[in-house]
Amino acid sequence: MTLSEARKSDELTLLMLRARASGKSATDIGRIIGKSSQFVSTATVRVMRADMAESGETRRSVALGYWKEARG
């Protein structure tokens, strides 16, 4: 993967994360970006799990920053 391709991939992941944090479903995001809901879920959960493993914060605390539904 070239630097340009990696950058595009990172930007897409950030877009998906922001959309999920704002309350959009993986299905809705997938429709918008032309990907499956599974693609969106897998990519965003992977980032959240890495954050949980590396942040030193509780899993709940990290989840609150990612998913609107976790915030209630």
pLDDT digit string (tens) for 32-54? 999 999 999 999 999 999 999 99
Do 62 and 51 contact (CB within 8 A), yes or no?
yes
Take residue 33 and report the two structure tokens written for it.
Answer: 């970006």
Q: pTM (2 decimals)?
A: 0.84
Give me the chain's average pLDDT, please. Answer: 92
